[in-house]
Amino acid sequence: MARTAPTTRHRTVGPALLLAGILLVAANLRPAITAVGPLLDPIGAETGLAAAQLGLLTAVPLLAFAAVSPLAHGLGERFGTERTVLGALFLLLAGTLLRPLPGAAASLWIGTFIIGAAIALGNVLIPAIIKREFPGRVTELTGGFSAVMGGLAALGAGLAVPLSGIPLGGEPAGWRFALGAYAVLVLPALLVWWPCARAARAGRASAGRDAADDGGAPARGAVWRSGVAWQVTAYMGLQSLTFYVLVSWLPTVEQSYGRPAVAAGWDLMLFQLAGVVASLLAPLMLRGRLQRIGPVVPAVGAAGAVLGLMLAPEAMLLWVVLAGFFGGASLVVALSLFGLRTRTHRQASAVSGMAQSGGYLLAAAGPPLFGLLHERTSAWIWPLALVLAATLLQALVGVLVGRNRFALGE
């Protein structure tokens, strides 16, 4: 593996506290999104949204990712990376409380967008912090970060329906209570990240730098002219499209085959937990010479799982587990590429912003298109064929992005 340029650190808190903060932030980057899929039916029943509109609702966070991700690098440079993440946590708390408010449907859409915007900042900046503070352990810590993210995403999906069924005042609490309950997760992240942000600010002041050049700051716009950065973006987008289609629609697909709603929610949790296991194992695929085929393997595995959903739906649970496993591995590979295909944390931040902007813009088309195809055909075979095509394209891109090249020059 090629060596990366040394990275100047300004950590003034212990590594244990910083790692705890990173993992607590990771715990908040998916549950508010994955909780929506199991609740699509009651949301649609109460709001009157059709299948394509519900698909668009699940795509709103991805559109927010696409819109906000390019801004994350600049915000981190201007206000400090840790302080920007802290602001993102407050924004996430506000969006989570706004989204389920009764009354006008505008709060549902606006709150969902705010949630996506907050998560986008964490998506981009946390990998850059890992690259800066732990440059020799990028893949391992990215795997741990992804495992926590996936584990809490699983809980978000699995607990959504049970939370909506909790009796309040003699009636089930409903989907609004279930979605609002995830605000509780943000509080411990705020408590731990607050001292990390303050210490980072003090460290920058004493060192006289945050935006100071460490020899690795990319020229403005340079990342958008990099072929390797575009390959990373395509890989990120294709694996995200597959993940967000499945996490949004798997419960509905299962219920159409007779699976009870609560069981379908727990199956989605199992889908996520399989991804957690893969997150811990995926770094092994990016070591040494295995890095060349590491991006290809999970894409091929995901293609097999989707093909199984199409041809043998009676073994649905097996395909759900396999899709979750290979989807989790794909995410770790995609996030690791931000660091593996750059030399400094600033380059990693720039590539991360580009890849998550373009990638999630591509992924955002998936859930509504999936819903529209089902609406037009009254079947699942053609929507699933869309997902299969995405996994096969991801495998082809994986061949290119597996080469040991840097996004911003040798």
Query: Which long-range contacts link 134-142 to residues 24+ away (Cβ below 8 Å)?
Result: 134/15, 135/4, 135/6, 135/7, 135/339, 135/345, 138/336, 138/339, 138/340, 139/283, 139/286, 139/287, 139/332, 139/336, 139/339, 139/340, 140/283, 141/19, 141/22, 142/283, 142/332, 142/335, 142/336, 142/339
Q: Is the pLDDT of residue 44 over 70?
A: yes
Residue owning tokens 């809490």:
152
- Residues contacting 232, CB < 8 A, separation 6+: 334, 337, 338, 341, 351, 354, 355, 401, 407
Q: pLDDT (tens digit, 9 = 90+) per residue, 2-16?
A: 444 444 455 557 888
Q: How many domains does the chain have?
A: 1
**Quick one: which of 351, 344, 334, 347 has its CA closest to 133?**
344
Examine residue 3 and state whether it is found in any structural domain, yes or no. no
Examine residue 325 and state whether it is found in any structural domain, yes or no. yes
Examine residue 8 and state whether it is found in any structural domain, yes or no. no
Structure confidence at residue 11 (pLDDT):
52
Examine residue 216 and state whether it is found in any structural domain, yes or no. no
Q: Is the pLDDT of residue 204 over 60?
A: no
pTM here is 0.78
Examine residue 211 and state whether it is found in any structural domain, yes or no. no
Examine residue 10 and state whether it is found in any structural domain, yes or no. no
CATH number of the structural domain spanning residue 235: 1.20.1250.20
Structure confidence at residue 150 (pLDDT):
82
Cβ atoms 358, 233 nearer than 8 A: yes
Q: How confident is the model at residue 218 (pLDDT cuts 50, 70, 90)?
A: low
Structure confidence at residue 5 (pLDDT):
45
376: containing domain? 15-205+221-401
Q: pLDDT (tens digit, 9 = 90+) per residue, 253-296?
A: 998 888 888 788 788 888 888 988 998 888 888 777 778 888 99
At 7 the three-state DSSP class reads coil
Examine residue 159 and state whether it is found in any structural domain, yes or no. yes
